[in-house]
Structures are given as C-alpha cells and as structure tokens.
Amino acid sequence: MALRINDEAPNFTAKTTQGTINFHEWIGDSWAILFSHPKDFTPVCTTELGYMAQLEPEFRKRNCKIIGLSIDPVESHTAWCKDIEETQGCAVNYPLIADDELKVAKLYNMLPADEPGTSEGRTAATNATVRTVFIIGPDKRIKLMLTYPMATGRNFDEILRVLDSMQLTSKHKVATPVNWKSGEDVIISPAVSDEEAKAMFPQGWKTLKPYLRVVPSPK
C-alpha cells in the first residue's frame, strides 16, 4: 500500500555505517530526514551526499537527524564516503543504511517500476533506489514525501526550507506562502476567526481578502 502524508513511518531495523539501528528508536524525540540515493560511487549521488554533509549542522540546530540509504553494503558506503569527503570537501558524519535485501526500499516505495516484460523479478537497473526524501516528525508520522528522477540532483536547501515551515506551522496556527523563507511574513490559518486572531496576533495583520490575512512570522 502506498504511503501517505500523516501515515506512521514504517519502523525497521537495519545495518548502517554507524551500527545497527531501530529506526523509531533512532529518531527518538527528534525530527528526521530519510533519503535514498540510487548507488554508491556515482556522480550525482556524490554531490548530493556531500551537500547534505555540509547542511547537517543546520539540520541539527533544528533538532533534525538525517540518514541516507541505498542497497549497497556497509563496506561500500564506508569506502565511498572517502571519495565524498575528497571531492566535496565535507565528511559524511550521518549514518547510511545498507539496504542490501531491499527491505526498507520496499517498505518506503523507493524502487522504480519493474521493467516491462521482465518475468524473473527485479533487475540490477530496477533494484536501484530512486531519489526519495521523507521528513518524519517526532510523532513518527510522515510529514513530507518527494521523489526525484535518477538523473536530477535534489535541492536540499528546499528540504531545509520546508522543515522550517513545518516546525513553525506545527507550533502556530499559520501557513507559509509561496517561496516563503524563515523570518518572512506568514498567513493566518483560515480556521482562525478574526476574534481569535486578535488575541493571537495583537500587533495586527494585513487583510488582502477575508481568507488571506498576512502577519509577521511568530518568533
């Protein structure tokens, strides 16, 4: 069954570059980002994991852990991390899951469609995990899902932006508009009446339409 937003993130136990983990226990009281890449020692993936290594301190500031995954074994991950540090200038300090039995990939629908006409199961090409991203909340519920094609590197600055939005909107009855960045004005939720809004936002707001009320971002 396909996963949906607000579903509980499937739990699993897996080998990683930092030892065996139980996923839900590893998340603990944090937010978490689980992202897959097609294969170790490939060019686009090298740039992606290097950039995530650079961003890892920013995610940590937001109480968010990151963890990568492909179907390669731990030994491959460990060797490849040396290449990532050499070429991208940043060491990979977050764990990488070795999903060599495809258990997590199948739980999270990370595999591409089977090749047409194949009768003997998955091939080497269809075993590679596509570029998926899941953001999971401290409640272990899925908050975001993204899937990218094999040849297109992801924009992980966008993932950080979305995390900022979700953490803000989980605390306050607001939504963030198109292209919003942390600190910019937000929108009062339509579920909040003007009377309620007066108590919540005593500084006032700008009404563009009754359903579109703009207010400075809560601190």
Distance from C-alpha of 54 to C-alpha of 18, rounded to nearest angstrom: 18
Distance from C-alpha of 31 to C-alpha of 138, rounded to nearest angstrom: 5
Query: Which listed residue (45, 64, 81, 90) is catalytic?
Result: 45
Q: Are 24 and 13 in contact (CB under 8 A)?
A: no
Q: Is 45 a catalytic residue?
A: yes
Known catalytic residues are 45
